Amino acid sequence: MATPLLPNSRMEADGSAVVRVLSYNVRSLRDDTDALARVISACAPDLVLLQEAPRFFRWRKKLTRLAAASGQVLLTGGATAAGPAILCSLRATVERTEDVLLPLTPGLHRRGFATAVVRFGDVRLGVLSCHLSLRQDERRQQGALLLDRLAGLGVAHTVAGGDLNERPDGPTFRELSGALQDCRVAAPWGGEFTSTSADPHQRIDAIFADRGVEVLGCGVPLDQPGVTRADLVAATDHLPVLAALRIPPA
């Protein structure tokens, strides 16, 4: 049986918005950026939550080029968030953005959040992209900070996505899925495992939404028209997660 297509982005008669969100670890654009742009374009997202965006020489120019090649614009993040970034389509109206650097543990990589509040018609949505620590104790602290940051955005509906560096049975993943909806569990669609792209055997990337959001489908876009296995493997070492969400109006 063929995998059903995710709903396209649209405004509903009741004022709600169907929004497509893509979360993707892009390994600092060290791989095939043409393949990466083709994958993003084929998924037709309204929001792209990136991890491991470029952080050093000409990082903003590289991100801007990727955004343009994939039908998006650079919203926020990159070096200023220590790696996470957010792209968006022209369908989104941006209210505000903020890049957040998290407490640094000596000897470990600096982490951060890219955050924004955007509107689709009368719908307001808080957005966060994250890449959590490889070390469990620091990762748990960052998970708690993520929930605090979402609450601090001051909007009724929020979505967060990223590379958690942890499987669903891990303590941080469980904490997040206890406070929010794990979109893949709420409405499974497409593939499950996200790492590695060449040998997917574990789910360490995820999209979460508050419980007032209706999840229409979420998973790895293996059967999305225009997305090929060759491009997924060539683009980066993670597979993307794509979700379609119905967001109620304010």
pLDDT at 188 (0 to 100):
98
Q: Tell me: the pLDDT tens digits for 19-42?
A: 999 999 999 999 999 999 999 999
What is d(CA 124, CA 119) in angstroms, rounded to the nearest whole number?
4
Report pLDDT for 1.
47
Lookup: tokens for 93: 């109206």
pLDDT digit string (tens) for 126-145?
A: 999 999 999 999 999 999 99
- Give how far the C-alpha of residue 87 lies from the chain's centroid of Cα atoms, to the nearest Å: 10
Q: Which domains does the chain have, with CATH numbers?
A: 12-247 (3.60.10.10)
CA-to-CA distance for 239 and 237, rounded, in angstroms? Answer: 7
Q: Which pLDDT value is given to residue 35? A: 98
pLDDT of residue 204: 99
Sites in the chain below the pLDDT cut of 70: 1-3
SS3 letters for 110-151? CCEEEEEEEEECCEEEEEEEEECCCCHHHHHHHHHHHHHHHH
Whole-number pLDDT of residue 217: 98
